[in-house]
Amino acid sequence: MSLAELQMDAESEHVVLLHGLCRTAKSMMVLERALASAGYCVHNVDYPSRTARIERLGDEAIGRALIECQSNGAKTIHFVTHSLGGILVRSYLSRHAVAELGHVVMLGPPNRGSEVADRLGSWKVYSLFNGPAGLELGTRPSSTSNQLGPAHFSLGIIAGNRSINWINSLIIPGVDDGKVSVENTKLEGMADHIVLKTTHPMMMRNRQVISQTITFLRAGRFLHDRGKRAEPRRASKGWCK
């Protein structure tokens, strides 16, 4: 394959990044740079996570990102999300078809909700700080996280098992990342799941997380054998602007 063909192939493969609750696109910049260096066209989406419910946030943020990808010639569109961003993708894909959809990687997603939302959701300060979407992330069957159903797309989930928030960890049963338990990151229909030594707020900057994210985008699976390394991807320009 010629250099021109490699370049064209790289430019047709896009990645949409969606940050978590109370964060901004700046929190995904390390991951953005790594994905661009790996040859992907990257769209790091900023959205006002505290202003609306999950369905509206997803429709507006993802709808806008898809138009941008398609206008730049995307043939494959992947998603990499942190925390709430993963629930936005689930909400959007439960109601809309994306013909170019590739793989989805979720970092620390509250797919089955978080006990923190259960315990603190009735507190006024919680709702003021986390907004309407934060109130939808409980573990009850009626919560949005648990109403969206299984994954019908290629999904890889990375969970963290380290916490710097011991107060939250006292609320959460089992191993957790300070916001969500490892068990509650899982989702029926997922293609792969891996647990790494990282905390919830820092996982999108963690080297192992970034490496495993790129591995899943290439192969649709994580690299569970630590003795092996992912095959190198050709370098090309990223950041479709």
Q: Report the alpha-carbon distance of residue 83 to residue 119 in Å, rounded.
A: 18
Residue 209 near residue 196, CB atoms below 8 Å: yes
Q: Which residue has the tokens 């793989």?
A: 103
176-83-78-31 Cα dihedral, nearest 10 degrees:
-80
CATH H-level, domain 3-219: superfamily? Alpha/Beta hydrolase fold, catalytic domain (3.40.50.1820)
Q: Do residues 58 and 45 touch, judged by C-beta distance below 8 A?
A: no
Could you tell me if 136 and 53 are in contact, meaning their C-beta atoms sit under 8 angstroms apart? yes
- Each residue's pLDDT, cut to its tens digit, for the chain (241 residues) gives 333 343 445 568 999 999 999 999 999 999 999 999 999 999 999 999 999 999 999 999 999 999 999 999 999 999 999 999 999 999 999 999 999 999 999 999 999 999 999 988 777 777 777 889 999 999 999 999 999 999 999 999 999 999 999 999 999 999 999 999 999 999 999 999 999 999 999 999 999 999 999 999 999 999 997 645 544 444 444 556 5
pTM exceeds 0.85: yes
**Contacts for 163 with CB less than 8 Å, ≥ 6 apart:** 169, 176, 177, 178, 199, 200
CB atoms within 10 A of CB 119: 15
152, exposed or middle or buried, with CB in 10 Å at 0-12, 13-18, 19+?
exposed
Domain boundaries, the chain: 3-219
Structure confidence at residue 230 (pLDDT): 47
Q: Measure the CA–CA gap between 205 and 223, rounded to whole angstroms.
A: 18
Q: Helices 84-93 & 54-71, crossing angle to 10 degrees?
A: 80
Alpha helices in the chain (DSSP H): 3-11, 29-37, 54-71, 84-93, 115-120, 124-134, 144-147, 166-171, 182-185, 207-219
